[in-house]
């Protein structure tokens, strides 16, 4: 383990890396700002420190314990690992003298039903419910995506290409998400911190789609009910026939019948083929009934 090349070869360099947890980057060229001008004060939250602060520093970036970097407007999971909540970071505050982290202002979000075609839940912010969280409360960063399908986002050639740290006049495509930019969906397919992300399924409504086994079971049940209905209908038809002995007999649908009419041979052949394949739940089992009448001159 003391061999650096061996650690690199085994992709184990992270073992001896120093933790960057709690490291932050202050907002450039801002300096200390009065407490009453912060979003925390706007939300009616008092300073959590024993000694009231007149000024605070704001951060543009903070590294969590697991290495995730969060920033204002980004989304995080917080609370218990088994029962996490999702919120949007609004502000990260630091003590102006001790340089210690005061807390993060987070807007809680409600996860609503899944949105097609993404099958991700809508992440709706709850108004006037901000809370000031400590560093330990934040579990990880979570990714969200814009609901582009519903709002018809299209790519535009508006982004300037940066080459060698210089902005060029060349343009490349980008999505601006200008319509309802706050309509966000929680990306449940996120691989990083997936154990926490998957715990968020508990707050989602029951999915409408079924598993494969459930679909097969429902299809078999549908088929049984269909067969029962058909057999009852046939039973009723045959009972009516017995009650009317003089009535003309109906053609047997399973046998071809032939009749000579005006020198023509007509054959009426009703083929009934019933599919034995597994049907989709809720759908009527496929019964393909074809009436093929063929008339040919019998010279
Ligand atoms: Zn969009």
Q: Output the CA 144–ligand 1 centroid distance in Å.
A: 11
Closest C-alpha to 158, from 150, 146, 170: 170
Q: Output the CA 149–ligand 1 centroid distance in Å.
A: 7
Three-state secondary-structure class, residue 273 = strand
| CA 93 – CA 132 distance, rounded (Å) | 10
Q: Output the CA 123–ligand 1 centroid distance in Å.
A: 14
Q: Output the CA 176–ligand 1 centroid distance in Å.
A: 7
| CA 254 – CA 268 distance, rounded (Å) | 11
Spell out, as residue ranges, where the chain has pLDDT lower than 70.
Answer: 50, 202-210, 212, 240-299
Closest C-alpha to 86, from 165, 177, 169, 201: 201
Contact criterion met (CB below 8 Å) for 121 and 114: yes
What are the angstrom distances between the C-alpha of 69 and each of 103, 139, 273?
Answer: 15, 11, 63
Q: Output the CA 288–ligand 1 centroid distance in Å.
A: 45
Q: Output the CA 114–ligand 1 centroid distance in Å.
A: 17
Q: Output the CA 175–ligand 1 centroid distance in Å.
A: 6
Q: What per-residue confidence (pLDDT) applies to 6?
A: 85
Torsion over CA: 218, 220, 221, 225 (sign):
positive
Q: Output the CA 150–ligand 1 centroid distance in Å.
A: 8
| CA 225 – CA 114 distance, rounded (Å) | 32
Q: Output the CA 45–ligand 1 centroid distance in Å.
A: 33
Q: Strands 184-186 and 120-125: what pairing?
A: antiparallel
The kind and range of the H/E element at 221 are: helix 212-243
Q: What per-residue confidence (pLDDT) applies to 243?
A: 62
Q: Output the CA 117–ligand 1 centroid distance in Å.
A: 13
Q: What per-residue confidence (pLDDT) applies to 246?
A: 55
| CA 145 – CA 143 distance, rounded (Å) | 7
Task: Please count the CA atoms within 13 angstroms of the CA of 271 that sit on its side-chain side.
Answer: 7
Three-state secondary-structure class, residue 254 = coil
Which one is the CATH code of 4-146+190-203: 1.10.510, 2.30.30, 3.20.20, 2.60.40?
2.30.30
Q: Output the CA 174–ligand 1 centroid distance in Å.
A: 10
Q: Output the CA 92–ligand 1 centroid distance in Å.
A: 27
| Interface ipTM | 0.98
Q: What per-residue confidence (pLDDT) applies to 40?
A: 92
Q: What per-residue confidence (pLDDT) applies to 114?
A: 87
Residue spans in the chain of domains classed CATH 2.30.30: 4-146+190-203
Q: Output the CA 94–ligand 1 centroid distance in Å.
A: 33
Question: Which residues neighbour 6 within 8 Å (Cβ) at sequence distance 6 or greater?
Answer: none
Q: What per-residue confidence (pLDDT) applies to 13?
A: 75
Q: Strands 131-133 and 120-125: what pairing?
A: unpaired
Q: Output the CA 153–ligand 1 centroid distance in Å.
A: 5
What are the angstrom distances between the C-alpha of 13 and each of 55, 117, 140, 297?
Answer: 40, 40, 22, 90
Retrieve residue 103's tokens. 């807390």
Q: Where are the beta strands (DSSP E) in 38-100?
A: 55-63, 69-70, 75-79, 84-94
* Tens digits of residue pLDDT in 98-156: 889 999 999 999 999 888 889 899 999 998 899 999 999 999 999 999 999 999 999 99
Q: Output the CA 155–ligand 1 centroid distance in Å.
A: 9
Q: Output the CA 146–ligand 1 centroid distance in Å.
A: 5
Determine phi and psi for 111, rounding to 5 degrees. Answer: -90, 120
Q: How much of the chain exceeds pLDDT 70, in percent? A: 75
| CA 65 – CA 134 distance, rounded (Å) | 12
Q: What per-residue confidence (pLDDT) applies to 269?
A: 40
């Amino acid at each position: 383990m003391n061999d650096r090349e061996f650690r690199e070869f085994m992709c184990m360099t992270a073992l001896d890396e120093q933790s960057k947890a709690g490291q932050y980057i202050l907002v450039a060229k801002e300096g200390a700002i009065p407490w009453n001008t912060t979003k925390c004060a706007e939300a009616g939250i008092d300073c959590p420190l024993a000694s009231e602060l007149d000024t605070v520093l704001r951060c543009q970036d903070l590294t969590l314990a697991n290495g995730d970097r969060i920033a204002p407007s980004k989304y995080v999971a917080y609370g218990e690992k088994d029962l996490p909540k999702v919120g949007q970071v609004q502000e990260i505050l630091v003590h102006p003298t001790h340089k210690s982290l005061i807390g993060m202002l987070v807007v809680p979000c409600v996860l609503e039903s899944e949105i097609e075609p993404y099958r991700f839940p809508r992440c709706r912010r709850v108004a006037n419910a901000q809370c000031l969280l400590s560093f330990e409360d934040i579990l990880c960063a979570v990714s969200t995506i814009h609901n582009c399908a519903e709002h018809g986002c299209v790519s535009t050639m508006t982004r300037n290409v940066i080459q060698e740290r210089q902005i060029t006049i060349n343009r490349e495509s980008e999505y601006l998400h200008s319509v309802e930019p706050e309509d966000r969906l929680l990306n449940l397919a996120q691989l990083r911190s997936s154990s926490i992300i998957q715990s968020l399924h508990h707050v989602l409504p029951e999915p409408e789609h079924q598993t494969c086994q459930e679909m097969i079971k429902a299809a078999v049940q549908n088929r049984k009910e269909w067969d029962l209905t058909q057999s009852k209908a046939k039973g009723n038809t045959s009972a009516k026939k017995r009650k009317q002995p003089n009535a003309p007999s109906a053609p047997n649908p399973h046998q071809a019948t032939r009749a000579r009419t005006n020198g023509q041979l007509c054959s009426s052949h009703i083929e009934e083929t019933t599919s034995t394949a597994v049907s989709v739940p809720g759908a009527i089992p496929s019964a393909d009934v074809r009436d093929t009448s063929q008339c040919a001159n019998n010279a």
